[in-house]
Chains A and B, each alone.
Chain A
Amino acid sequence: MRGRRSWKDTALGLAFLAPSAAVFVAFFFLPLYRLIRLGLFQQNRYGTKETWVGFSQYTDTLTGQEFLDGVRISATYVLYTVPLGLVLGVLLAVAANRRLRGMKVFQTIFASTVASSVAVASVVFFVLINPQVGYFSDVRFLSLAHPDSALRGVALSSVWQNLGLTFIIVLAALQAVPEEINEAATLDGYGPVRRFFRVTLPLISPSLLFLVVVLVIFGFQAFAQIDILTGGGPAGATETLVYKIFDSRDPYRQGTGSVMAIGLFALTTVVTALQFRLLNRRVHYGN
């Protein structure tokens, strides 16, 4: 009885996994193999012929100026977007986490930017900061027309676009903080500020860690906002790693592009693992 059962379970299990597995093989695992392999060959102009170059293309590309520029620009972008976005999101969530009449309206407004895709947010911000007729086109600090400030302008659109998600997740975390803990802290003579930093913040730290990880990944994957707002310019100042990879999809550039993609993969994996290691020590998981 048992043997027959598990044989049937195995067949059914494999049948149920097959549709997903087919997609994963075709669009995740085979491409990963081809990505590694593409990096070992140099393609001719039309992608019709390739020459084995071994790992020299890996070392050349990963130490080359193009890749290093991409890493620098992507990392700067992450630094511009993540801390500011997180602080603003927490601010909105703390403000909206109280019982007042009409609070649902404010909460919906604060969450509303999740309705905007990156493309929509970029067009909306194009109205504000485009160099010709943007409302803030005179603000040099955010100017898209100058290499030293363009990335900041683009980053601002991402900060705004991510506010909704950050707000929703932090608010959910705040609402899960048991009331008794706050009451106990108040009885112990904690003022609101000390209560926030000593009691609330540690309790919501798992959600904050999650947000940091997600926002950093978003930052490293930024593409649409660059494509729409600057097209990588001026003078390549906003060419993030993903933008460079996208630009390398023509057959003759595939070799370098593939190595840069592997570089991006390694970078995001290492950064994510580091965040878990470093931040996890400070994160407080209940029970």
Chain B
Amino acid sequence: MDDPALLPAWKKALWYLVLGALSLLVLFPVWMALVRALSTPASYVRDGQPIHPVDVQWDIFGRAWTEGDLTRKVLLSLAVTVIVVVAQLITSVLAAYAFSFLEFRGRTACFAVFMGTMLLPLEVTLIPNVQTIRDLHWLNSIQGLAAPFLATAFGAFLIRQGFMGIPRDLRDAAQLDGFGHLAFLRRVAIPVTRPVIASFAVISFLSAWNQYLWPRAVVTEGRWATLQIGLKDLAAAKVEQSNIGVAAALLAAVPVLALLIFLQRHLIRGLTAGAVKG
């Protein structure tokens, strides 16, 4: 890239102008959502929907929280998400360990079968999976919402990549020290690959929190609506209450926005992991 010291001032100004314009473009929908959430709906429409808020109601986020029954929705989403993330971490780490440090007949075949599940998205198997949940009487339940996501081939693959990077010497040394597999896993393999595992945890959180199709299919009572599918009903309300739905949607993005800001490195590593060749 161009050395910033060599860049003339006018060129720098031009780039800031371009970057500023692009930022406005990306942020425009969010700004308009914020304006809509904060404005009193009737006055906003009366004034011809300007790009600034009208008759600001600062308490809208609090009202969206109570009127949208967000405590229950957030707790439900959080419970499902935590169960899914923890389960995926355990199942993926164990599977990854088997695929990288344990030698047994049929390992390659097992690996191929595991990876094959990545070709089969939930959209395809939706109908029989909903039937399974129905047969188990798990519609409208936490276990029904979480069950299909307790393991993921992507996690096993990603963490295996991390494990494969552990130098042979380290393994041999651990073996000489009398480490069995469980001790090696706990005291060496997991600590050494912590960045990879953390990246996977972030991605796992992101996809569990944002889940939509599955909850829509296995939730039939409003009481069991997760945050994401609850947004649909809130947003579909009458115009006079449109600010509530929009405010709830903005609130739903906050946890992930926090991830983006505080765990940016891990999030980016996780998102780009699939893009590296191999």
Tally of contact residues, B, Cβ under 8 A:
93
User: Which of B33, B98, B257 is close to A124, meaning CB atoms less than 8 Å apart?
Assistant: B33
Q: Do residues B150 and A23 form an inter-chain contact, with CB atoms below 8 A?
A: yes
Q: Tell me the chain B residues, 96-144 only, with Cβ under 8 Å from chain A.
A: 97-98, 102-105, 107, 110, 113-114, 117, 119-121, 123-132
B95 CB-CB contact with A under 8 Å = yes
A169 interface contact, C-beta 8 A: yes
In the complex, whether A140 has a CB less than 8 A from a CB of chain B is no
Bound form: Cα–Cα A165–B235 in Å: 25
Enumerate chain B residues within 8 angstroms of A118, measured Cβ to Cβ: 210, 212
Known: A20-B95, A110-B22. A27 touches B217 (CB 8 A): no
Tell which of B29, B181, B257, B261 touches A160, judged by Cβ atoms closer than 8 Å.
B29
Contacts of A244-284 to chain B: CB distance below 8 A: 245-246, 248-249, 254, 257-258, 261-262, 264-265, 268-269
Report the stretch among B53-61, B193-201, B263-271 that lies at the interface. Answer: B263-271
**Do A211 and B114 touch (CB < 8 A)?**
no
A55 to chain B, nearest CB (A): 18
Which secondary structure dominates chain B's binding surface?
A: helix
Q: Is the CB of B256 within 8 A of A117?
A: yes
Q: Scan residues 210-255 of chain B and give those whose CB is less than 8 A from a CB of chain A.
A: 210, 212-213, 216-217, 228-229, 231-232, 234-236, 239, 242, 245-246, 248-250, 252-253
- CA A22 to CA B117, docked complex, whole Å: 13
Q: Residue on A with the closest CB to B257?
A: A115
Contact partner, B102, options A16, A32, A108, Cβ 8 Å: A16
Contact B32 A128 (CB under 8 A): yes
- Say yes or no: A34-B102 contact (C-beta < 8 A), given A20-B151, A117-B210: no
Does A135 touch B at the CB level, under 8 Å? yes
- A261-B151 contact, Cβ under 8 Å, with A20-B91, A99-B4, A224-B212: no
Residue of A34, A99, A116 with most chain B CB atoms under a 10 A cut-off? A116
- Secondary structure at the A interface, as helix, strand, loop or mixed, is helix
Among A28, A124, A254, A257: residue with most chain B CB under 10 A: A28
- On chain A, the residues within 8 Å of B212 by CB distance are 117-119, 223-224, 227
B32 touches A35 (CB 8 A): no
Q: Decide yes or no whether B1 CB sits under 8 A from chain A.
A: yes
Segment at the interface with B among A6-14, A57-65, A146-154? A6-14
Q: Complex: how many Å from CA A37 to CA B220?
A: 26
For chain A, the count of residues having a C-beta within 8 Å of the partner chain is 91
Contacts of A233 in B (CB 8 A): none
Partner of A262, one of B124, B130, B236, B253: B124
Complex formed: what's the CA distance from A214 to B271 in Å? 12
Is there a chain A Cβ closer than 8 Å to B165's Cβ?
no
Q: Is A246 in contact with B126, judged by CB distance below 8 angstroms?
A: yes
**Which A residues are in CB contact (< 8 Å) with B30?**
112, 124
Kindly provide the distance from the CB of B54 to the nearest chain A CB, expressed in whole angstroms.
13
User: B170 near A: Cβ within 8 Å?
Assistant: no
Which residues of chain A in 170-224 are interfacial with respect to chain B, using CB atoms and an 8 Å cutoff?
172-173, 179, 182, 206-207, 210-211, 214, 217, 221, 223-224
The verdict on A144 contacting chain B, using a C-beta distance below 8 Å, is no
Residues of B within 8 A of A95 (CB): 15, 18-19, 22
B92 sits at the interface (CB 8 A): yes
B124 smallest CB distance to A (angstroms): 4
Query: How many whole Å from A93's CB to the nearest CB in chain B?
Result: 11
Minimum C-beta distance from B46 to chain A (A): 11
Contact in complex: B12, A100 (CB < 8 Å): yes
Across the interface, A117 reaches (CB within 8 A) one of B15, B95, B153, B209, namely: B209
23 contacts between A and B (CB under 8 A): A9-B103, A17-B110, A22-B151, A23-B91, A24-B113, A24-B151, A35-B128, A106-B23, A108-B264, A112-B260, A117-B210, A118-B212, A119-B231, A120-B228, A126-B235, A127-B36, A163-B26, A172-B275, A207-B275, A242-B123, A242-B213, A246-B126, A269-B119
Other A-B pairs beyond A117-B209, A122-B235, 7, CB < 8 Å:
A19-B91, A22-B151, A124-B32, A124-B249, A126-B246, A245-B123, A249-B127
Q: B-contacting residues of A (Cβ < 8 Å)?
A: 6, 9-10, 12-14, 16-17, 19-24, 26-28, 30-32, 34-35, 38, 91-92, 95-101, 106, 108-120, 122-128, 132-133, 135, 160, 163, 165, 168-169, 172-173, 179, 182, 206-207, 210-211, 214, 217, 221, 223-224, 227-228, 242, 245-246, 248-249, 254, 257-258, 261-262, 264-265, 268-269, 285
